[in-house]
Amino acid sequence: DTGVSQDPRHKITKRGQNVTFRCDPISEHNRLYWYRQTLGQGPEFLTYFQNEAQLEKSRLLSDRFSAERPKGSFSTLEIQRTEQGDSAMYLCASSSRTGVTEAFFGQGTRLTVV
Amino acid sequence: GNSVTQMEGPVTLSEEAFLTINCTYTATGYPSLFWYVQYPGEGLQLLLKATKADDKGSNKGFEATYRKETTSFHLEKGSVQVSDSAVYFCALTGDYKLSFGAGTTVTVRA
């Protein structure tokens, strides 16, 4: 296992379309996170899973956003009816439950809404 | 809530210069503190961490000390290299999620 992987790396979509991103965490990690990063800013927390349970959603996550983690393995983040303001880098991270919550990040999916 | 304030950049240095990036935080309880680095074209990588007051995290010549009395976690390196050019993020966690600073872009010239 080489780390957290995200797919696709880049996505360009027209406003109003739906998009879905995938994240495969490090295999023994039971915690999974989604963050969003815009230019010149640090990552902002979106949502958190422990195994298959989604335990927290940020107020940043509007109703157009939904995330799943079936069977506690990979996760998907879907954005419906995309808007230009959704353009950002979407980062996935995972960590184990024990010890300090050191998170390992994927390389991200860069979304551009045109 | 938790928050991190980070020194604004960009910072441009010559090779072998001393680097300091200031970071202060606001948090309830006793957070763990981190520095993450993002090299051009790559994902975020953990650079170093400290889990309690007075702990010093270190890696690749970088150091940062958890100062509870000043709520700070400043990053330092005594002699930077061109390969240290990157964006550096200070972060904290009190439970499971990370709160990040805005990032500081560091460019090291040969």
Sequence-ordered list of residues with C-beta below 8 angstroms from that of B57, at least 6 positions apart, any chain:
B33, B35, B48, B49, B50, B63, B64, B65, B66
CB contact under 8 A, B101 and A42: yes
What would the two tokens of residue B75 be? 């990053």
pLDDT tier for residue A31 given thresholds of 50, 70 and 90: very high
* Interface with A, mutate which of B98, B99, B100, B105 (most A CBs under 10 A): B98
Using beta carbons and an 8 Å cutoff, which residues of B are at the interface with A?
Answer: 4, 6, 32, 34, 36, 42-46, 49, 51, 89, 91, 93, 95-103
What mean pLDDT value characterizes chain A? 92
Average pLDDT over residues B47-52: 94
Q: Convert the pLDDT of each residue in A44-84 to its tens digit.
A: 999 999 999 999 999 888 899 999 999 889 999 999 999 99
CB contact under 8 A, B43 and A105: yes
Nearest residue on chain B to A57, judged by CA atoms?
Answer: B97
**Eight-class DSSP state of B70:** T
Say how many C-beta atoms besides its own lie within 10 A of residue B51's C-beta: 16
Q: How far is A94 from chain B (nearest CA, A)?
A: 10
Q: Quick one: pLDDT at residue A101?
A: 62
Q: Quick one: pLDDT at residue A99?
A: 55
What CA–CA distance (Å, rounded) separates A90 from A45? Answer: 10
pLDDT tier for residue B46 given thresholds of 50, 70 and 90: very high
Q: Return the SS3 of B82.
A: helix
Q: Convert the pLDDT of each residue in B68-110 to its tens digit.
A: 999 999 999 999 999 999 999 999 987 778 999 999 999 999 9
Average pLDDT over residues A108-114: 97
Phi-psi map region of B71: left, alpha, beta (phi>0 left; psi -120 to 50 alpha)? left
